[in-house]
Structure 1
Amino acid sequence: MSDHDWQAPGGAPSPGPVPGAPSGAPAPGYGSQPGGGSSDSPYGAPLPPPLHGAPGAWAPPPKPGLLPLRPLGFGTLLWAPFTVLRRNPAATFGSGLVVQLVSAVATIAVVVPFLIFTFSRIENAASEDLDALLAGSVGGFLLVMLVPIAISVVAAAFLQGVMVVEVATGTLGERLSFGALWRRAAKRIGPLLGWTAIVTLAVLLIVAAFVAVIVVGAVTSPAALVVAIVATLLGGLGVAVLAFWIGTKLSIVPSIIVLEGAGIGTAVRRSWRLTNGYFWRTLGTLLLVALILNFAAQVVVQPISLLGSIVSVLIDPNGTGAGLTVTIITTVVTLILSIVIGAITAVVQAALVAVIYVDLRMRHEGLDLELARTVEMRDAGHPVGDPFAPPATAGAPAT
C-alpha cells in the first residue's frame, strides 16, 4: 500500500509528503508546529505568550472592579457613578448624607437665630427707623449667610476627595470603609479646599458684578435700569457659555489633585490637556447626568409637596388653621427627602468627575494597561506602586 492509499482513522485521507522534507518524514499535523515543535493552537500556529502569571503557567485574569480596565463606552461612562453608589452604599451614601446634614444644620443654626432677632427688632422699632433697620437687616443676612456657604464649600470639597478615592480604589477591586475613605481624602484636603475656594470666589465675583450693574442702573434712572437689565441678561448668556467651556476643561482638577498629589496649577494644566479631543463627550456626560438627577428629584419631591397642599385644602378649605398639621408634616417630609436626594446627587456628580478622569487617562496615557498590571502583580503577591501616579511625560506640552 502506498503512502497515498493510507487513510487516517475516520476515513480522512493522510496528508501528503511535505516538499523538501527528508524521505519518510511525517507531515506536520494540525496540532504540531513546523520543525517538530508541538502546540495547542490550531493549524500549527505558535501560541501567544501567556497574559497572566509566569510563562507556561495559568493565572486568573485581574479581578474585575468598579470599572472595566479599558477605555469606557458612553453607556458605561454614564452609569458608572450610579454603580459607585450601589457598590459601596455605606461609605458613599453615608458620606453624602453627612455632608448634606452638616450644611443643613449649619444653615439652620445661623439663619434661624438671626431671623428671630431681626423680626423682634423690626416689631419694636419706631417708624422713622424702620427703613434703616430693614436695610441693615438685609446686609446682615448676606454676611451671616457667608458662614453656612463656607461650611458647605468645605464639605463639598471633602466629599469630592472621598469620591475620587472611592472610584480609584474601586477600579482596583478594593472596597474601603467609611473611615478609610475619609482618612485618605483628608491627606489632600488643603489643595482641594484651595481649588474649591477659587471656583466659589470666581462665581461670587461674577454675581456681584451683575448685581452692581443693576443697582447702579436702578439708582441712576428707570431708563438706565432697563439698559442694565438687558445688558445683564446678554452678559449672562456670554458668561454662561464661557463657564461651560472653562468648567468642562477644568472638570477633573479635583481628581488630579487627590490621585496624583498635584498642586492647583499643575492640576489645572493637566486637566486642560487631558480633556483635549474629548470636550463634547465630557460636557455631554456631565449635563446628561445632571439632567437625570434633577428629573428624578422633581419626580420624587414635587408629588409629595403637591399632595400635602391638596390634603391641607380639603381638610381646611376656609383657612381656619385646621390643616396646619398636614402642612408641617408635608414640609418635614419634603425636607428629609430633599436631604436624601441631595446626598445622592452630590455623591453621583462627584463620582462622575472621577470616572471621567480615569477614562481620559486610559485614552491619553494607557492607564488601563497600568491598572491591569497593578492588579495582576498585587494578586500574585508582588509589591506594587501607585498606578495613578502621573507619567513622566505629564508635563510635556500637548500635541
Structure 2
Amino acid sequence: MAQYWMPQPPRAGVVPLRPLRPGEILGGAFATLGRYGGRLLGALLLGQAAALLPVAVIAGAATLASLSRSAGSRVFVYALLPTAALFLLFGCALAAALVSALLRPAVLGRPVSVPGLLRAAAPRVPAVFGTQLLVLLAVAGPAAALLAAGLPAAALLPLVPVALWLGVLLALAPTAAGYEGLGPAAAVRRSARLVRGAWWRTFAVTVPAGVLAAGAAAAVVLWLGALGALIAPALLLTLPQLAAGLHHVDRRLRHGISPA
C-alpha cells in the first residue's frame, strides 16, 4: 500500500504555526518556561525590585506614623494596605507585559535577553495595568459595590456565573494590551471579539493553566524550600499568562491575523 508523506506545519518556536488544541497551548506554555524561563524570571524580579524602592519608602513612613496611638490603625488601612494592593497589581501587570513581549520571539524561535525583555515590556506596563484594573472592575465591581452597600455574601451567589463568564470573556485583554499595543478599552473589546464563539475553549485553557500553576508553585516550594518560595510567585504570575498569551496568538490565527 502506497504511503504518502504529509508536510508538517512549521514550528520554529514553542508551538506550531497553525490553529492549536488546548493541550498544545498548555504544553507550549511549559515549553516557553523551559526555554525562556530563566530570562523571564530575571526580568520579572528586576522589575519588581525597581518598584520596591517607592514601596519601601511608603512603608517606612507609614510604619513611623503608625507608632502614634491616635493614627496607628488609620495609617495601616489608608497607606499600607493600598500600597500592598498596588504593588501586587503592578507585579501582575509587569508579568503580563513581559509575557506579551516574550510571545513573538517564543512563537518564532528567536533569542531574547533580560534587558531586551525589560525594554520591550516597560512601555506597555501602564496600559496593561489599566486593562487589568478595568477587567477587575467589570468582573468584581458589582459584587464589591453590593457588599459595600450591606448585602450579605449569600445574596451575591447569582453573580458568580456572571463574573466567571466575564472573567473568561476578558481573559485575553491584558495580552491584547501588551502584545498589540492597545489601550485598556480597546484591549477589552479585542478580548471579547477573540473569545466570542470560543468561550468554552478559552475556559479549557485558562482555568487548567491556573490550576497547573498553583500545583507547580506548591511543588517548587516543597522541593527548593526558601529558593522555591522566591520562584513560586513568579510561576503563579507567568504560567497562566503564558497560556492566555498563546491562546491569544491562536485566536488571532483563527481570525486570519498574523501572529508576528
TM-score normalised to the size of structure 2?
0.80
- 2:85 aligned residue: 149
Matched, 1:344 2:235: yes
Deviations 1:206-238 (A, max 9, x none): 565354344xxxxxxxxxxxxx43xx2231x23
Q: Report the residue type matching 1:356 in the other structure.
A: H
Please list, as runs of the form range in 1=range in 2, the aligned pairs for 1:106-185 lying within 5 A after superposition: 110-111=58-59, 114=62, 118=66, 120-122=67-69, 133=70, 137-144=72-79, 145-185=81-121
> Closer, same or farther in 2 for the Cα pair 1:349/1:105, shift >3 Å?
farther
Identity of aligned residues (%): 25
- 1:82 aligned residue: 30
Q: Which of these residues, 263, 281, 284, is aligned with residue 183 of structure 2?
A: 263
TM-superposed CA distance for 1:187, in Å, is 3.4
> Closer, same or farther in 2 for the Cα pair 1:62/1:279, shift >3 Å?
closer
> Closer, same or farther in 2 for the Cα pair 1:105/1:81, shift >3 Å?
farther
Matched, 1:96 2:58: no
Q: Distance in 2 between matches of 1:139 and 1:157?
A: 28
- 2:206 aligned residue: 286
1:257 touches 1:263 (CA, 8 Å); kept in 2?
Answer: yes
Q: Which of these residues, 363, 378, 381, is aligned with residue 254 of structure 2?
A: 363
Q: Report the residue type matching 2:253 in the other structure.
A: M
TM-superposed CA distance for 1:243, in Å, is 1.8
Q: Distance in 2 between matches of 1:249 and 1:337?
A: 32
Q: Report the residue type matching 1:255 in the other structure.
A: T
Q: Distance in 1 between matches of 2:228 and 2:61?
A: 24
Q: Report the residue type matching 1:279 in the other structure.
A: W
Q: Report the residue type matching 1:181 in the other structure.
A: L
Q: Distance in 1 between matches of 2:12 and 2:97?
A: 23
1:96 touches 1:344 (CA, 8 Å); kept in 2?
Answer: no
SS state at 2:14 partner: coil
- 1:66 aligned residue: 14
- 2:170 aligned residue: 250
> Closer, same or farther in 2 for the Cα pair 1:142/1:277, shift >3 Å?
same
SS state at 2:255 partner: helix
Q: Distance in 2 between matches of 1:100 and 1:264?
A: 22
> Closer, same or farther in 2 for the Cα pair 1:297/1:262, shift >3 Å?
closer
Larger Rg: 1
TM-superposed CA distance for 1:255, in Å, is 2.3
Q: Distance in 2 between matches of 1:281 and 1:203?
A: 19
Mean Cα displacement is larger for which, 170-179 or 266-275?
266-275
User: May I ask how many residue pairs the two structures share in their alignment?
Assistant: 253
Measured on the aligned residues, the alpha-carbon RMSD in Å equals: 3.2
Deviations 1:273-301 (A, max 9, x none): 21122111111221111112223334454
1:99 touches 1:343 (CA, 8 Å); kept in 2?
Answer: no
Q: Distance in 1 between matches of 2:92 and 2:142?
A: 21
TM-superposed CA distance for 1:92, in Å, is 1.0
TM-superposed CA distance for 1:64, in Å, is 1.7
Q: Distance in 2 between matches of 1:344 and 1:240?
A: 26
- 1:296 aligned residue: 216
TM-score normalised to the size of structure 1?
0.55
Q: Distance in 2 between matches of 1:204 and 1:269?
A: 18
- 1:188 aligned residue: 124
Q: Distance in 2 between matches of 1:343 and 1:185?
A: 16
Q: Distance in 1 between matches of 2:238 and 2:193?
A: 26
2:220 touches 2:231 (CA, 8 Å); kept in 1?
Answer: no
Unaligned stretches of 5+ residues in structure 2: none
Q: Report the residue type matching 2:212 in the other structure.
A: I
Q: Distance in 2 between matches of 1:100 and 1:190?
A: 14
TM-superposed CA distance for 1:200, in Å, is 4.4
2:131 touches 2:185 (CA, 8 Å); kept in 1?
Answer: no
Q: Distance in 1 between matches of 2:221 and 2:118?
A: 30
Q: Which of these residues, 270, 273, 276, is aligned with residue 193 of structure 2?
A: 273
- 1:314 aligned residue: none
Deviations 1:219-263 (A, max 9, x none): xxxxxxxxx43xx2231x233322211121111122222333333
1:161 touches 1:258 (CA, 8 Å); kept in 2?
Answer: yes
